[in-house]
Amino acid sequence: MQRRSLLAAMALIPVFQMAVPGAAIAAEKKVKVAATFDAMAEIAKAVGGNRVTVSTLIPPGVEPHEYSPRPGDMRGLAGADLVIKNGLGLEPWTEKALKASGNGRAKIVVASQGVTPMKIGAAIDPHLWISPSGAILEAENIAKALEAADPAGAAVYKKNLAAFASGIKAASDAFRKAAAGSKNRTFVTGHAAFGYLCRDFGLKQVSVENVYAEGEPSARQLAELVSFCRKNHVKTVFAEELASPAVSRTLARECGAKVVPIYTMESPEDKLSFTARMSQNLKHIAESFR
């Protein structure tokens, strides 16, 4: 009797496994992704879904161009199958850090591959992910890399990529509709991180700091910014926590404008998706034109 009961229970195991959502995927080896910073990690998660595990090398609140890998960060690189970076000069330490980790099999994925770089002065603007078209390009490059690393998951990656792109395009369409008919196409920001976004929509950014958020403006430069804002009836100054928020607040106070937060680096603490942050940025920029 006990033998028959045991055989019956064993016969039910395959049926039970089939009935549990994700059981087959959980049993498979997931692609281990090390992303340089949160924006790259968010896109990788959106495209990879439950077929990937994603770790982030740079802690929240640290600018990628100011980051220097620490010994403890090598753990994330050592076990990675893919290392995803933005490129465009933002993370020049990636190759050296990967070599130091002893991981000779991981592939470095440059998410910005194929873009025509923009320059602000002599500096290349690395902030491609802030632009809708740039975010989609980076998602496409990440999807290709995931498909190459995990051919069995190709259909999943294609589906997730399509959903991600659809969300970004919806945010773009909403912005175009909200900004339609507005004569004003200029907005004021903490630093010059919106070049690719401006290229997408034919906008102009005026910034407190340069493309790498280095150095606060002199008293003369700040006075010129105040004069510009007053002359152009600027009602909104966008500020980021990592790019002189105090200076942005001073500028806003001097010209009678309000300060509105804007995202350039992703932050897991706010619980928003990449697409939600993109949508919020575009919504606030459109509102600033009114």
| Domain span including residue 248 | 178-288
Gap between the Cα atoms of 247 and 224, Å rounded: 13
Same domain as 154, residue 36: yes
- Per-residue pLDDT band at 1 (split at 50, 70, 90): very low
Residue 210: predicted pLDDT = 57
Same domain as 258, residue 121: no
Gap between the Cα atoms of 190 and 130, Å rounded: 14
- Per-residue pLDDT band at 232 (split at 50, 70, 90): confident
- Give the pLDDT confidence of 99-120 residue by residue, as tens digits: 999 999 999 999 999 999 999 8
β-sheet bridge partners, residue 124: 119
Domain-embedded: residue 10: no
As a whole number, the mean pLDDT across the chain is: 86
Question: Does 211 score more than 80 pLDDT?
Answer: no
For the entire predicted model, the pTM comes to: 0.86
Tally the domains of the chain.
2
Question: Does 148 score more than 80 pLDDT?
Answer: yes
Residue 245: predicted pLDDT = 72
Contact at 8 Å (CB) between 72 and 52?
no
Same domain as 91, residue 125: yes
- Residues 6+ positions from 225 with CB-CB distance below 8 Å: 188, 206, 208, 217, 251
CATH for 166: 3.40.50.1980
Residue 13: predicted pLDDT = 42
Question: Does 130 score more than 90 pLDDT?
Answer: yes
Same domain as 169, residue 43: yes
Determine the average pLDDT of the residues in 189-193. Answer: 85
For residue 21, count other CB atoms closer than 10 A to its CB: 9
Gap between the Cα atoms of 158 and 135, Å rounded: 15
Which of 129, 155, 174 corresponds to the end of one domain?
174
Sheet order of strands, 52-56 included: 52-56, 31-35, 82-85, 107-110
Domain-embedded: residue 124: yes
Question: Does 214 score more than 70 pLDDT?
Answer: no
- Give the pLDDT confidence of 33-85 residue by residue, as tens digits: 999 999 999 999 999 999 999 999 998 778 787 788 888 778 889 999 999 99
Which of 149, 174, 199 corresponds to the end of one domain?
174
- Give the pLDDT confidence of 2-34 residue by residue, as tens digits: 444 434 444 444 444 444 444 444 446 899 999
Residue 268: predicted pLDDT = 61
- 22-26, 73-77, 217-221, 246-250: which range is least confident on average? 22-26
